[in-house]
């Protein structure tokens, strides 16, 4: 038995003397999987995502029903991030609906409402006015509707229809065109007439489905009716 014990002790000693390659203090390789490094999104990218999501939500639900929680979820950010960049729902509405619509109308005015004296006839100008304005309203119907609703429920916020600077420019240029006709009999002031004409075209565009039920008239008939209505109206000053 003592001999067996001595053999066991010698075997254990030899095992301990065997040093692993690289030294006795070498640690086993770390097999823990590396965590993927999350890329930090730029602030500009986050703001753009929030603005786009807000525009979609305001168009879909309106100002009152859209929530910052819903907008944040749609944008893939937290509400804390949303408020960090925009501060309030009102400010977010201004950035996502008010400013883009203001810019669209400014470009429309510059492109489609000519300076006085630059069109062949007053009739041509009126036809251009109605057709292009109708197209503009159709293309931006969701934003315009959101803006109208926001003014109804949040009039104190300062971003209603009346606060759009480009709309005032539009009216000013239209009134100038009417004055340049040289009418001697003024039934309606040009400043008022251009606004009434705008409202008529706007209503026909925004409430189209309500006003013109299916089967009443085709698109060309409706467009011609609006043209005649506006032309006859502005021609009252002769």
Q: Which domain holds residue 68?
A: 41-87
At residue 56 the predicted structure's pLDDT band, cuts being 50, 70 and 90, is: very high
Let me know whether 75 and 137 are in one domain.
Answer: no
The C-alpha atoms of residue 207 and residue 188 are separated, in whole angstroms, by 26
The pLDDT, as a whole number, for residue 127 is: 76
Query: Is-contact 96 51, C-beta < 8 A?
Result: yes
Q: What is the share, in percent, of the chain residues with pLDDT greater than 70?
A: 69
Reply yes or no on whether the pLDDT at 80 is more than 70: yes
Reply yes or no on whether the pLDDT at 25 is more than 60: no
Residue 202 lies in a domain: yes
Q: How many independent structural domains does the chain possess?
A: 2
Residue 111 lies in a domain: yes
Let me know whether 48 and 128 are in one domain.
Answer: no
Reply yes or no on whether the pLDDT at 77 is more than 90: yes
Let me know whether 100 and 62 are in one domain.
Answer: no
Query: Is-contact 72 82, C-beta < 8 A?
Result: yes
**Span 165-209, pLDDT tens digits:** 778 888 888 888 777 766 667 788 888 988 898 889 889 988 888
Residue 14 lies in a domain: no
Distance between alpha carbon 125 and the CA centroid of its chain, in Å? 30
Let me know whether 149 and 52 are in one domain.
Answer: no
Let me know whether 83 and 94 are in one domain.
Answer: no
Let me know whether 148 and 54 are in one domain.
Answer: no
Largest CA distance in the chain: 136
CATH number for 213: 1.10.357.10
Q: Which of 133, 59, 70, 124 is nearest to 96 (CA)?
A: 59
At residue 38 the predicted structure's pLDDT band, cuts being 50, 70 and 90, is: very low
Let me know whether 124 and 198 are in one domain.
Answer: yes
Let me know whether 121 and 222 are in one domain.
Answer: yes
Let me know whether 150 and 75 are in one domain.
Answer: no
Instruction: Tell me the CB-side half-sphere exposure of residue 128, using CA atoms within 13 A.
Output: 17
In angstroms, the Cα distances linking 213 to 36, 135, 140 are 57, 19, 21
Q: What is the share, in percent, of the chain residues with pLDDT greater than 90?
A: 18
**Span 138-172, pLDDT tens digits:** 888 888 887 777 776 665 555 555 556 778 888 88
């Amino acid at each position: 038995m003592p001999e067996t014990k001595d053999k066991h002790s010698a075997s254990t000693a030899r095992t301990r003397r065997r040093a692993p390659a690289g030294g006795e203090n070498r640690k086993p390789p770390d097999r823990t999987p590396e965590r993927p490094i999350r890329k930090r999104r730029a602030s500009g990218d986050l703001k753009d995502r929030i603005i786009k999501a807000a525009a979609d939500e305001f168009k879909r639900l309106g100002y009152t029903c859209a929530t910052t929680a819903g907008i944040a979820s749609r944008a893939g950010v937290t509400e804390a991030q949303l408020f960090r960049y925009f501060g309030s729902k009102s400010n977010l509405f201004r950035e996502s609906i008010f400013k883009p619509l203001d810019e669209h109308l400014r470009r429309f005015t510059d492109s489609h409402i000519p300076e006085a004296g630059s069109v062949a006839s007053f009739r041509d100008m009126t036809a251009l006015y109605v057709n292009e304005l109708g197209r503009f309203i159709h293309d931006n119907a969701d934003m315009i509707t959101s803006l109208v609703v926001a003014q109804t429920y949040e009039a104190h916020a300062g971003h209603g229809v009346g606060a759009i600077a480009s709309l005032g420019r539009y009216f000013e240029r239209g009134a100038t065109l009417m004055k340049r006709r040289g009418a001697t009999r003024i039934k309606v002031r040009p400043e008022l007439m251009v606004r009434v004409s705008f409202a008529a075209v706007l209503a026909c565009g925004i409430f189209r489905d309500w006003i013109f039920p299916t089967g009443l008239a085709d698109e060309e008939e409706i467009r011609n009716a609006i043209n005649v209505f506006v032309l006859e109206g502005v021609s009252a000053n002769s």
